[in-house]
Amino acid sequence: MTHQQKINLFGWLHPLVNSAGMVKKMSPPVVMPFYHTVSDEVLPHIAELYSVKSSKRFRNDLDYLLRYFTPLSMQDFISGAYDKSKAHMLLSFDDGLKECHSVIAPVLKEKGIPATFFINPAFIDDKAWFYRYEASWLIHDLKTQEPADDASCTMIKMKEKEILRYQEQLRQVNYNSIDILDKIMERMQISRQAMKLQTRVYLNSKELQSLAADGFHIGAHSQHHPEFSNISADEQIKEVKESMQALELLANLSIRSFAFPFSDDGISSNQLKKISESANLNISFGTSGTGKHPALNHFQRMPMEHTRNIPAKKILAGELMAANIKSRIKSS
């Protein structure tokens, strides 16, 4: 069941769900919400992927979470230095987008909330972009084009059917088919450099170091954000090791943490163990909502962004109800 299906199926029950009470029964009693970014402006590199929380909606989410959950730092969570009789939250943000420094960190500092930022080192300073961000940016740009008729068609102007075809191809792009991006960029007569000049996406090195200096934990999110289920076991290990090594040069990594991009689906327990040992990880995370691996220091986080804007209380209710039902079925 997808996260969106969980919310659609169980989220409407949120007025009846005691989320904190359900979390207290979990082991450990910690919910792990994660976001990517927060913005009051349209972000073309994300607009076609999911709904970005506005600063107001983000603050509302945090106010709700703080009402029922005590925030934990990564250090306290790993050390176990917290009251297990209470419900807690471990907050994190993926991809290292520029709003982490300009928008998110100031709000977290104001509210006294510790957090982790999981970074793709290959994208720092906008050296490169995550391929899905490129695809979203191109779709967003295509939507602004005026289709050409037969008489006025030029190199740049495209017919409506062509525009729609490219949009569909861009929505379907994956890590192993990113060459389609180059073909569509060539047809649109736009370069990656031109995209970067129009839109800044990622943290720069100084901003990342500033987050670390402010006490936020920095973790790795792979080098290039591939879908791990689509790359070899050796490539998986390489992505984790290289991202950890790159971050060591930029930030103090007293705790070696890693969050799998997309998800940890399709990665066996044996491979999870190999990845952890090869990169000397203290902890790792997936994105399946809730739960802990029975034998490894590997946990699941809860995505807080969806294709439409949904408040935190509804997301938590849907995820926790689904997890509770799954647990009951397993134990019966």
Q: What is the CATH number of the domain that holds 277?
A: 3.20.20.370
Higher pLDDT, 259 or 324: 259
Domain boundary among 144, 176, 198: 198
Q: What is the pLDDT of residues 70-83, one digit of tens each?
A: 999 999 999 999 99
Q: Do 89 and 191 lie in a common domain?
A: no
Higher pLDDT, 146 or 298: 298
Q: Do 105 and 222 lie in a common domain?
A: yes
The pLDDT value recorded for residue 146 is 65
For residues 4-11, give the mean pLDDT.
86
The pLDDT value recorded for residue 145 is 76
Assigned token pair, 17: 């769900």
Q: Do 234 and 212 lie in a common domain?
A: yes
Q: Do 325 and 246 lie in a common domain?
A: yes
Among residues of the chain, what percentage have pLDDT more than 70?
96
Q: What are phi and psi of 200, to 5 degrees?
A: -95, 135
The pLDDT value recorded for residue 147 is 63
pTM here is 0.94
Number of structural domains, the chain? Answer: 2
Q: Among 5-19, 140-154, 190-204, 207-221, whose mean pLDDT is lowest? A: 140-154
Among residues of the chain, what percentage have pLDDT more than 90?
84
Q: Do 107 and 217 lie in a common domain?
A: yes
The pLDDT value recorded for residue 76 is 97
Phi/psi region, residue 247 (left: phi>0; alpha: psi -120 to 50; beta: rest), is alpha
Please give the Cα distance from 27 to 309 (Å, whole number). Answer: 29
Range of the domain at 179: 131-198
Assigned token pair, 258: 């890693």
The pLDDT value recorded for residue 5 is 87
Q: Do 145 and 289 lie in a common domain?
A: no
Assigned token pair, 211: 């987050």
Question: Is it the case that residue 241 has pLDDT exceeding 50?
Answer: yes
The pLDDT value recorded for residue 152 is 41
Residue 298 parent element (H or E): strand 298-300
The pLDDT value recorded for residue 329 is 78
Q: What is the pLDDT of residues 118-177, one digit of tens each?
A: 999 999 999 999 999 999 999 999 998 766 554 444 445 678 899 999 999 999 999 999
* β-bridge mates for residue 53, sequence order: 38
Q: Do 194 and 152 lie in a common domain?
A: yes
Task: Extract long-range pairs of 65-73: CB within 8 Å, 24+ residues apart.
Answer: 65/33, 65/89, 65/91, 65/312, 66/111, 66/113, 68/19, 68/20, 69/20, 69/23, 69/31, 71/112, 71/113, 71/114, 72/30, 72/114, 73/114, 73/217
Q: 252 pLDDT band (50/70/90 cuts)?
A: confident
The pLDDT value recorded for residue 154 is 41
Q: Do 120 and 156 lie in a common domain?
A: no
Q: Please state, as a whole number, how many other Cβ atoms lie within 10 Å of the Cβ of residue 208.
A: 24
The pLDDT value recorded for residue 133 is 98
Domain boundary among 198, 231, 257: 198
For residues 277-301, give the mean pLDDT.
97
The pLDDT value recorded for residue 148 is 56
Q: What is the pLDDT of residues 77-113, one digit of tens each?
A: 999 999 999 999 999 999 999 999 999 999 999 999 9
Q: Do 142 and 235 lie in a common domain?
A: no
Q: Do 60 and 102 lie in a common domain?
A: yes
Whether residue 71 is preceded by a cis peptide bond, meaning omega within 30 degrees of 0, is no
Assigned token pair, 68: 């029922």
Q: Do 311 and 207 lie in a common domain?
A: yes
Whether residue 28 is preceded by a cis peptide bond, meaning omega within 30 degrees of 0, is yes
Q: Do 229 and 114 lie in a common domain?
A: yes
